[in-house]
Amino acid sequence: MRRRTALVMAALVAVGLALSPTPAGAASTVFRAPPAGAERIGGARAVQVSTKGPSWYDLAFYHRVIAAGTNGVRAPRGAQMPLAVGLAYPGIRPGLWLVTVTTNPVGFAWCTANFVFAKRGVFGLGTAGHCAAKDALGAYPDVTAYVVPPPTSGQLPGFYHIGKFVLSHNNGIGDDFAMISIYSKYSSWVNPTMPVWGGPTGVYTSTLPTVAKHFGHGAAVGTGGTPRAGVCPILNARSGNAFAWYGVGAPGDSGSGVEAAAGEALGNFTHIVIYDGTNKNPAGQILPGMLTGTKMTKILSIASGWTLKLGSLIPI
């Protein structure tokens, strides 16, 4: 059994490395040492992988986007944009670059969308719960995103006010998810298919190791939206609510969707683990340096009434 497990893991490593088109010059992992800002979660330490929005994306720019409606707003002249962001796939879909409001401190968070959902004729778009800070009155904020509109829309790529958060869980590894309700005027722009990888084809419910594939807008690796693949050996952490894999992640990837080898949705990417031990279990459940997130089964329990929309196997 041990030899069979070793062979399976070796095969998965080979497949993961073959699938992963890591950008030239990128390191095999982003965090080699514990970075500043690692949060304590019980006896563990982990880093949320959201980051600050671009410096030019300030309150005035945000108000311009809110007021522009379906016309959207182009980035300011000379603004530093994520590399190749203009080459992103069209539509409101998995892997979308999100810029959301934060309240402590006041500012804007750079995150990534995961999967498309539906509830009573309304589309939803998932991300990380820690990307959805409530305002001083306890209300969820509006959401803006960089969108390449479908060619038939006649609109230009830019920032659009796509919807509003309607729920958020920000309770650490295995319980970190938020849902954006997409405004009906953008319904025709919604596409559930993940760029490059295609899918999701369903929900991954097995505990067997698998390849983990994600598409995110990490600020250091993945800018412009980059597909990456790794190996996922842990699928039953945090009472079955979290999974963990070896791969490449960076700040800005928070919320991005992760798929298994055959395209089933594994969950979202929310943290990089620094140390996962506790007094009762010094070894922890997740090894240092692993990427981790909330399993799809837990996400669907958080998002009660919402159903996962399946995507095309061909990444259109």
DSSP for the chain, written as a single string: -HHHHHHHHHHHHHHHHHH--PPTT--S-S-SS--TTPEEETTEEEEE--EEPPTT--HHHHHHHHHHGGG-BPPPTT----TTGGGSPSSB-TT-EEEEEEETTEEEEEEE---EEEETTEEEEEE-GGG----TTSPPPEEEEEE---GGG-PPSEEEEEEEEEEEEE-STT-EEEEEEEPGGGGGGB--PPTTT----SB----S-EEEEEEE--SSSSTT-EEEEEEEEEEEETTTTEEEEES---TT-TT-EEE-TTS-EEEE--EEEEE---SS-TT-SS-TT-EEEEBHHHHHHHSTT-EEPP--SS--
Can you give the pLDDT at residue 300? 98
Q: Which residues pair with 158 in a beta bridge?
A: 147
Minimum mean pLDDT range among 14-23, 197-206, 288-297: 14-23
Query: Average model confidence (pLDDT) for the chain?
Result: 84
Question: Is a pLDDT exceeding 50 seen at residue 251?
Answer: yes
Averaged pLDDT, 27-42: 47
Cα(147)–Cα(225) distance, integer angstroms: 12
Of residues 18 and 184, which shows the higher confidence score? 184
Output the CATH code of domain 2-47+197-296. 2.40.10.10
Q: Give mean pLDDT, residues 92-117.
A: 89
Q: Provide, rounded to the nearest whole percent, the portion of the chain with pLDDT above 70.
A: 78
Structural domain spans, the chain? 2-47+197-296, 52-189
The sign one gets for the Cα dihedral 294, 295, 296, 302 is negative
- The predicted-structure confidence for 187-225, as pLDDT tens digits, reads as follows 999 999 999 999 999 999 999 999 999 998 887 665 557
Residue 20 has pLDDT above 70, yes or no: no
Evaluate whether 2-47+197-296 and 52-189 have a shared fold.
yes
pTM exceeding 0.95: no
Confidence band for 2, pLDDT divided at 50, 70 and 90? very low
Q: How far apart are CA 262 and CA 241, in angstroms?
A: 21
- In whole angstroms, what is the distance from residue 82 CA to residue 97 CA? 10
Whether omega for the bond prior to residue 105 falls within 30 degrees of 0, making it cis, is yes
- Nearest Cα to Cα of residue 126 among 309, 312, 311: 309
What is residue 14's predicted lDDT score, i.e. its pLDDT? 39
Q: Which residues pair with 210 in a beta bridge?
A: 232
The model's confidence at residue 285, banded by pLDDT at 50, 70 and 90, is confident
**Residue 245: predicted pLDDT:** 97
Q: What is the pLDDT of residue 217?
A: 83
87 has a pLDDT exceeding 50: yes
Q: What is the pLDDT of residue 236?
A: 95
pLDDT in tens, 116-175: 999 999 999 999 999 997 776 577 889 999 999 999 999 999 999 999 999 999 999 999
Topology of domain 52-189, CATH: Thrombin, subunit H (2.40.10)
Mean pLDDT across the stretch 54-66?
93
